[in-house]
Amino acid sequence: QKAIPLARQGKLVTFGIVPSHAETGYGYIEQGKELEDSCFSVDRFVEKPDLATAQDYLASGDYLWNSGMFMFGARQYLNELEKHRPEILSICQAAVEDANEDLHFTRINEAVFAECPEDSIDYAVMEKTQNAAVVALDAGWSDIGSWSALWDVSEKDANDNSFIGDVIAHDTASTLARSENRLIATVGVSDLVIIETKDALLVAHKDKVQDVKKIVEQLKSDGRNEHINHREVYRPWGVYDSIDSGERYQVKRITVKPGAKLSVQMHHHRAEHWIVVSGTAKVTNGEKTYLVTENQSTFIPVGQVHSLENPGVIDLELIEVQSGSYLGEDDIVRYEDRYGRS
The predicted-structure confidence for 172-228, as pLDDT tens digits, reads as follows: 999 999 999 999 999 999 999 999 999 899 999 998 988 898 999 999 999 998 888
pTM exceeds cut of 0.85: no
**Which region, left, alpha or beta, applies to residue 337 given φ > 0 means left and ψ of -120 to 50 means alpha?**
beta
Find the helix or strand (DSSP H, E) in which 43 lies. Answer: strand 39-46
Distance (Å, rounded) from C-alpha 186 to C-alpha 175? Answer: 10
**Structural domains in the chain, sorted by start:** 1-141 (3.90.550.10), 147-212 (no CATH), 232-336 (2.60.120.10)
240, amino acid identity:
Y
Residues in a beta bridge with 67: none
Asked if pLDDT for residue 340 goes beyond 90, the answer is no
Sheet holding 316-324, edge to edge: 232-235, 238-246, 249-256, 316-324, 270-278, 297-300
pLDDT in tens, 276-332: 999 999 999 999 999 999 999 999 999 999 999 999 999 999 999 999 999 988 899
pLDDT in tens, 118-148: 999 999 999 999 999 999 999 888 878 889 8
Q: With beta carbons less than 8 A apart as the criterion, state whether 207 and 191 touch.
A: yes
Query: Which residues partner with 45 through β-bridges?
Result: 29
Residue 172 and residue 189 in contact, taking contact as beta carbons nearer than 8 Å = yes
Q: Answer whether 132's CB lies under 8 Å from 31's CB.
A: no
What is the band of 151 on the pLDDT scale with cuts at 50, 70, 90?
very high
> What backbone phi and psi angles, to 5 degrees, belong to 87?
-65, -35
128, 120 Cβ separation under 8 angstroms: no
- Say how far apart CA 256 and CA 274 lie, in whole Å: 13
Q: Which residue blocks in 191-338 are alpha helix, DSSP H?
A: 212-221
Alpha-carbon distance of 175 to 192, in angstroms, equals: 5
Q: Which amino acid is at 151?
A: W
Closest C-alpha among 74, 68, 88 to residue 10: 74
| Higher per-residue confidence, 56 vs 225 | 56
Rounded Cα distance between 324 and 247, Å, is 9
Is pLDDT of 341 > 80? Answer: no
pLDDT in tens, 80-118: 999 999 999 999 999 999 998 877 788 899 999 999 999
Q: What is the pLDDT of residue 87?
A: 97
**Are residues 332 and 300 in contact, defined by beta-carbon separation less than 8 angstroms?**
no
